[in-house]
Amino acid sequence: MAYRVEEYSETVGEAHRKVFGQFFTPPGVARFMVRWVLGSGNAAVHDPAFGLGAFHSAAANEDEVAFTGSEVDQDILDYWRSSSPSSDMVNVRHEDYLLAWGRRFGNIVCNPPYMRFQIFLNRDVVSQEFERRLGIRLLGYMNTASAFLLKSLYELGESGRLAYVMPLEFLNTGYGTLVKKRLIEESHLAAVISLRCERDVFPDAITSVGIILYDSAAEFSHVRFYTVESIGTLDSLFESEPAVEIPYAKLIPENKWLPHFNNDSAAVNINKTVPLERYGHFSRGIATGANEFFALRPSEASNIGLTDTEVAPIIAKSAQVRTPFFTNNDYDELVERDEPVLLFSANGALSPAARAYVLTGETKGFDQRFLTKSRYPWHKTEKRAPSPLLLGVFSRGGYKIIRNTSRASNLTCYHGFQPNLYGLGYVDHLFLYLCSATGREIVSLSARRYGDGLDKFEPNDLNAALAPAPDVFDAIPTDQVDSAIESLRETGSAPGCVESWFENLKR
C-alpha cells in the first residue's frame, strides 16, 4: 500500500489530490475499521470513497467479504486498477457518491474527502439532493466528510455497522450540531476515537483525526470516548478503558464534545460560571481580503501621499504584540520601526493620491480577490473601534491574550472583545481570568483542535465559553484587581492571588 500512495502522489501531484481532498488510510487503521464492521456478521462492505483501496486490501485478509466501492476520481481509479491484479473482481463504480442514491449497504467503511463543502465539486446539485431526500440543508463551511457521513448513516442496513475516519473538528463546531444530532438520535453510536497520533496517520492533514463507530443493530446507554497514542494499539483498543463513557442523556448536540476525551467538561462548576457573552462579545478582526494592499508602512503611506483621514492605526500581525499589554507607546514604537501598522481606509471621497493608489491596486488584481470583488467599492474597509481585549485566533500550547489600551484596531490575527454596558466594569477582571491557569483551561475547552497540536478559536466559540459569574468577580476588591494588573504588567505573569480567585470554578 505504501508504494502505491507514494507513486500515485508523484504521478498526479499535490494539486490534484487537493481538488479531491485525498488523504490515504494507513493499513493498521484500515484493518481495525474493517474488522470492526465485519463484527456485525454481515459480509457485505461498501467504501464510498474507494481511493487506492486501503479498506479493500484489509478486507482481502478476511474470509469471504463481498466488497464494493464508489470513487469520483477517474485518475485514482485507473491507477488502482492498473496496479491491482485482482481489481476486475471488485465492483467499484466510477461515481460521485453524494449523487448516487437509492441503495442500502450491509456495512460501510470510509475515509471521506477532507475539504470545505463550499469548494466541493457539484456542491449545488448535492445540496439540492440532500434537502430533497433527507430534509438536510448542507452549510457551505461544513466539511465534506460530514456530508459523506450523513448520507452513509441514511444508507446503512438495519443490522449493519459503520466505521468512518473523520476530522474531529465537527465535534466542536456549529455545523457539527446537525451531525451529532443524527449520530445519537437512535442510540446507535458506539464510540468516538481520537487518534492522537494523527501525524502518523495522515502526515499532510491539518486537522485532528478520529474514527466514528456506529452499530445500527445495537442500542447503547453510553458513548465511549477513546484516545489512541499509536496505531499499533488499535487492535487491542477495546481491552483498555475509554477516556470516558458519557450517558446518552448527557450528550447534547449543541455542546462541544472534544472535551469528553479528557473528561474535562464535567469539571467546570456551572453554578459559578456564565457564558462569556454575558459581558460582551468577541468578533473577528478586520478582514481586508488583501493585506499586502491595505496594510501599509508609514513610509509607504507618506510616499503615496495619503492624508491622515485615509489611514487608520491597526495591529496587522500577531507578532507585533509581544507582551500581555499593548499601549499607545507600543504602537508608536511600531510606527518608528516603520512596520505595517496603517490601514488604507479611504472610505469617503478619495484624494488624488488615494485615487491613484486604488487604480494601482486594480492593475495588480487586488479588486478581484475573493473578499474585495464582493464589496462596493472594493477598497472600502470595515470600521472597528479598538478592542480592549484581543485573543489570538490560532495557538499551540496556550492562547495569546492582550489587554489593549492603544488607539489601534486589529486585523484577523486577533479576535477583539467589545464589552456591553454590563461588562464595561469587568474588562480587567475578564483579562485576569483569561490570563489565569484556570481560565485558560476552561476557555480552551471551546477551542477547535487541529493536527500537530494546533488550536483555533472562532468568535462564537469564545462567546459561548464559560467565564466567572458576576458574583465571583464582585467578591474581588477593586484595589486587588488594580494591583494584580500592575504586577502582571511588571513581571509578565499573573500573581498567585489571581489563581486563588478562580480556583473554585473547577470542581
The lowest-confidence range among 80-89, 333-342, 360-369, 392-401 is: 80-89
Q: Does the domain spanning 268-286+386-507 belong to CATH 3.90.220?
A: yes
Res. 218 pLDDT band, cuts 50 70 90: very high
Element (H, E) at 430: helix 427-435
The string of pLDDT tens digits covering residues 80-108 is 888 887 777 789 999 999 999 999 999 99
Q: Does domain 2-265 have CATH number 3.40.50.150?
A: yes
Inter-residue contact 278 to 467 (CB < 8 Å): yes
Q: What angle do CA 90, 95, 101 make, to 5 degrees?
A: 100
Find the angle CA(338)-CA(343)-CA(345) to the nearest 5 degrees: 145
The H or E element that residue 300 is part of is helix 298-304
**Dist CA 504 CA 507 (whole Å):** 7
3-state secondary structure string, 233-257? Answer: HHHHHHHCCCCEEEEHHHCCCCCCC
pLDDT in tens, 232-250: 888 888 888 887 888 998 8
Domain boundaries, the chain: 2-265, 268-286+386-507, 288-381
Whether the ω angle into residue 253 lies within 30 degrees of 0, i.e. cis, is: no
Lowest mean pLDDT among 16-20, 313-317, 417-421: 16-20
Q: Is residue 155's pLDDT more than 90?
A: yes
13 φ/ψ sector (left φ>0, alpha ψ -120 to 50, else beta): left
> Per-residue pLDDT tens for 470-492?
999 999 999 999 999 999 998 88
pLDDT (0 to 100) of residue 287: 95
Across 135-149, 202-216, 339-353, 486-500, which has the greatest mean pLDDT?
A: 339-353
Q: Pick the residue with more confidence: 328 or 244?
A: 328
Q: All 3 cell numbers of residue 88?
A: 476486475
Q: What share of the chain is helix, strand, coil (3-state, %, to 5)?
A: 45, 20, 35
Return d(Cα 498, Cα 479) in angstroms, integer.
13
Query: Is the separation of the CB atoms in 111 and 23 below 8 Å?
Result: yes
CA angle, 43 then 48 then 52, to 5°: 95
Q: What is the pLDDT of residues 280-307, one digit of tens each?
A: 999 999 999 999 999 999 999 999 999 9
Half-sphere exposure of 218 (CA within 13 A, CB side): 16
Least Cα distance to 202 among 54, 93, 92, 60 occurs for: 54
Residue 358 has which C-alpha cell?
A: 486604488
Instruction: Indicate the SS3 state at residue 341.
Output: coil
Q: Grid coordinates in use for 184? A: 445519537
Residue 421 has pLDDT above 80, yes or no: yes
Question: 118-139 burial by CB neighbour count: b if 16+ within 10 A, else e?
Answer: eebbebeebbebbeeeeebebb
More confident residue, 264 or 290: 290
